[in-house]
Amino acid sequence: METMTPVKETIGLPRLNERAPEFEAPTTHGVRKLADYQGKWLVLFSHPADFTPVCTTEFMAFAKAQDSFAQLNCELLGLSIDSHYSHVAWMRNIQEKFGVEIKFPIIADLSMAVARAYGMIHPGAADTSAVRATFIIDPNGILRAMVYYPMSNGRSIAEFLRLVQALQTSDANKVATPEGWQPGDKVIVPPPATAEEAQARVSQGEYECTDRYFCKKSL
């Protein structure tokens, strides 16, 4: 008798540089939708569950960095497959036990509608838990970056702050940023379009060129 191989569920993921999936969902600050963040940067991030230790460390780190994100015109929005009652209880627990106030909203995605739209549910990770996914959405609602972490390991919040700064720098100056770039570091300029432009770039003092295709400059 022929054995049928179970068909694995295909996980759809949003794509970079396209419109982020629309959502409208209840949060700890009332109903929020993607359109509410028009004109602002948004870091949307999921966590597997409330009242878990790794997620608690991440939320405290996001809370401590919230003012730094705000200085970049960037809002924070959390999400898990828990009710808003659970979210509120967990927020109060974090403030009571660790002295950290969670001021940003958290989506209560019991229907998993937002989590599925953003590809946060991965079979094998857990039954109904969202993995540690982070999405950076620009003021025009375009998805600019997404990062997935395993459930066992916490994220570096400082890296997401750096990434928002890098994206904003690239947008404002039409440049790229090298590995480990920090604000104030030199940036990478686009490759020259012509041989004449390449030669001129090497001879100009504005650029630090290792080769014609590889040039940096200070902003």
Mean pLDDT calculated for residue range 23-52: 95
Q: Is 74 a catalytic residue?
A: no
* Closest of 91, 111, 112, 109 to residue 101, by C-alpha: 91
Structural tokens at position 81: 């497959």
* Closest of 155, 169, 195, 199 to residue 178, by C-alpha: 169
**Catalytic-role residue among 55, 74, 209, 215:** 55
List, for residues 160-170, the tens digit of each pLDDT value: 999 999 999 99
Phi, psi of 214 (to 5 degrees): -125, 95
Please, which pLDDT band fits residue 26 given cuts at 50, 70 and 90?
very high
| Residues whose CB falls within 8 Å of the CB of residue 65, separated by 6 or more in sequence, listed in order | 157, 158, 161
DSSP per-residue letters across 6-67: PPPPPPP---TTSBPPP-EEEEBTEEEEGGGGTTSEEEEEE-S-SS-HHHHHHHHHHHHHHH
Q: What is the per-residue pLDDT for 139?
A: 98
List, for residues 197-211, the tens digit of each pLDDT value: 777 776 777 888 888
Q: What is the per-residue pLDDT for 8?
A: 45
Q: Domains in the chain, please, with CATH?
A: 24-155 (3.40.30.10), 174-219 (3.30.1020.10)
User: How far apart, in Å, do the first and last CA atoms of the chain sit?
Assistant: 69
Q: State pTM to two decimals.
A: 0.88
What are the counts of helices (DSSP H) followed by strands (DSSP E) for the chain?
A: 5, 10
Q: Look at residue 47 and tell me whether its pLDDT is greater than 60.
A: yes
Please, which pLDDT band fits residue 150 given cuts at 50, 70 and 90?
confident
Q: What is the per-residue pLDDT for 6?
A: 42
If one compares 197 and 145, the residue with the highest pLDDT of the two is 145
If one compares 204 and 74, the residue with the highest pLDDT of the two is 74
